[in-house]
């Protein structure tokens, strides 16, 4: 199966302007993400998709593959779909966020492997047990699944609501790394925005509202994304050690 790994790297960021180029122990963040993704076994190619010349030039400087994409895409999915159209040989597209400089390569391989022998799967993502201090943080997205591991709902609010305490019922945090069959990704990018998606500002709800299914894999791996200057300093401190 032909697996393509794409790293969207949008230059503008409200909380951390120029985020893909943020310095982490002497390298731009996008280089850390690219180099770690390149260690995954399954993808035949890793490519950065950006909307800004400075990011394009930085990736070229460290020898990575990069595509300049439209600056007018309303969502990351639209940017991903533009890249997918350039690679008709790809069967599965793995989307690694450009602000995950500590991404574990085996996570990429795990997502890709989920499609092996499963022609019915269209989209796969991940979840990890949530820390209690994140329960009421709207930036920590929660997910609940059915007994077969398919998403029932994603929310910025606490789900499930613990009206009745059930022993060993964990709260799961959604991890924003995705894998799609290429044909489904192209279809997904044409779907109209939906009310729940707009209310929660969670694009993946569009998939559920249009009647499609999302398989959710569980992991204990702790992702450390970079959204703020404080996150950036935390990652720098970790890598310095």
Is residue 167's pLDDT more than 90? no
pTM of the complete model: 0.93
Confidence of residue 209 (pLDDT cuts 50, 70, 90): very high
CATH architecture of 3-240: Alpha-Beta Complex (3.90)
pLDDT in tens, 218-230: 998 888 888 888 8
Q: Where in the chain are the domains? A: 3-240
Radius of gyration of the chain (CA): 17
Q: For 119-138, how does the pLDDT look when each residue is reduced to its tens digit (9 = 90+)?
A: 999 999 999 999 999 999 99
pLDDT tier at 14, thresholds 50, 70, 90: low
Q: Where are the beta strands (DSSP E) in the chain?
A: 3-9, 23-24, 27-28, 43-50, 66-68, 92-95, 123-129, 142-145, 151-155, 172-181, 215-218
Kindly tell me if the per-residue pLDDT of 144 is higher than 70.
Answer: yes
In the chain, % of residues over pLDDT 90:
77
Say yes or no to pLDDT of 105 above 70. Answer: yes
Asked whether the predicted pLDDT for residue 198 surpasses 90, the reply is: yes
- The answer on pLDDT for 12 being more than 80 is no
């Amino acid at each position: 199966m032909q697996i393509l790994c794409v790293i969207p790297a949008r230059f503008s960021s409200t909380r951390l302007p120029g985020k893909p180029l943020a310095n982490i122990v002497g390298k731009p963040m996008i280089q850390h993400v690219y180099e770690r993704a390149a260690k995954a076994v399954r993808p035949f190619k890793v490519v950065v998709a950006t909307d800004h010349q400075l990011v394009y030039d930085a990736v070229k400087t460290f020898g990575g593959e990069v595509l300049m994409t439209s600056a007018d895409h309303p969502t990351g999915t639209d940017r991903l779909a533009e890249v997918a159209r350039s690679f008709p040989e790809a069967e599965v597209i793995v989307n690694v966020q450009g602000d995950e400089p500590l991404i574990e390569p085996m996570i990429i391989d795990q997502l890709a492997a989920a499609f092996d022998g499963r022609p019915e799967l269209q989209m796969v993502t991940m979840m990890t047990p949530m820390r209690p201090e994140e329960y009421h943080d709207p930036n920590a997205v929660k997910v609940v699944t059915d007994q077969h591991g398919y998403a029932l709902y994603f929310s910025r609010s606490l789900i499930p609501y613990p009206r009745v305490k059930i022993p060993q019922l964990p709260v799961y945090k959604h991890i924003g790394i995705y894998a799609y069959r290429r044909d489904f990704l192209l279809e997904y990018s044409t779907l109209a925005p939906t009310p729940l998606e707009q209310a929660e500002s969670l694009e993946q709800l569009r998939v559920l509202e249009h009647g499609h299914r999302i398989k959710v894999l569980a992991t204990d791996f702790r992702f450390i994304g970079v959204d703020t200057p404080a996150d950036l300093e935390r990652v720098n401190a970790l890598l310095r050690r």
